[in-house]
Amino acid sequence: MTKTILTVDDSRTMRQMLLRALQEAGFNVIQAEDGVHGLEVLQGNWPDVIITDVNMPRMDGLTFIEEVRADRAKRAIPILVLTTESDAEKKARARRAGATGWIVKPFDPVKLVTAINRVAA
C-alpha cells in the first residue's frame, strides 16, 4: 500500500521540491502551509509520516508537533523535522515535543526517502 506523507512548510519552493521528490519515490503527498493549516489538514487525513519545518508563521513546527502529540489518536504518527536550523537546543526541544527525527535543509531526496521508510516501518 502506498504511504501518505503530510508536508508542513511555509515556503512554496520547498513544498514543490518535497512534492516532486516524494511523488517520484511513489508516495501520496498532502501539503500544508504552516502549523495551523497542518492541524486543519490532519482533521480529514491520516498520513503515515509528517514532515515539518520549524520556522513558520501562525504556528511554528515545534508547537505543531506538540499539538499532534496531544491528540491521542494521532500521537503515534512519525514526525520528521526538515529545517535549516542546526541549533542543539532546538533539536532538544523538538525531541521533547515528540519529533521522531531531524533533517537539515537542503535535503538529499534519497536520504529523505530512506528516513521516511525507516520511521514508517
* pLDDT (tens digit per residue) in 93-115: 899 999 999 998 888 999 999 99
pLDDT over threshold 80, residue 2 = yes
Which domains are present in the chain? Answer: 4-119 (3.40.50.2300)
Residue 86 has pLDDT above 80, yes or no: no
Which of 94, 90, 92, 86 lies closest to 64 in space, CA to CA?
Answer: 94
Reported pTM: 0.95
Q: Which of 5-9, 15-19, 36-40, 42-46 has the lowest mean pLDDT?
A: 42-46
Top pLDDT among 38 and 107 is at: 38
Quick one: pLDDT at residue 1? 74
pLDDT of residue 106: 87
Query: Using only C-alpha atoms, what is the Rg of the chain?
Result: 13
- Among residues 109, 120, 107, 121, the alpha carbon closest in space to that of 5 is found at 120
pLDDT over 90 at 121, yes or no: no
Q: 3-class SS at 6?
A: strand
Q: How far apart are CA 60 and CA 111, in angstroms?
A: 24
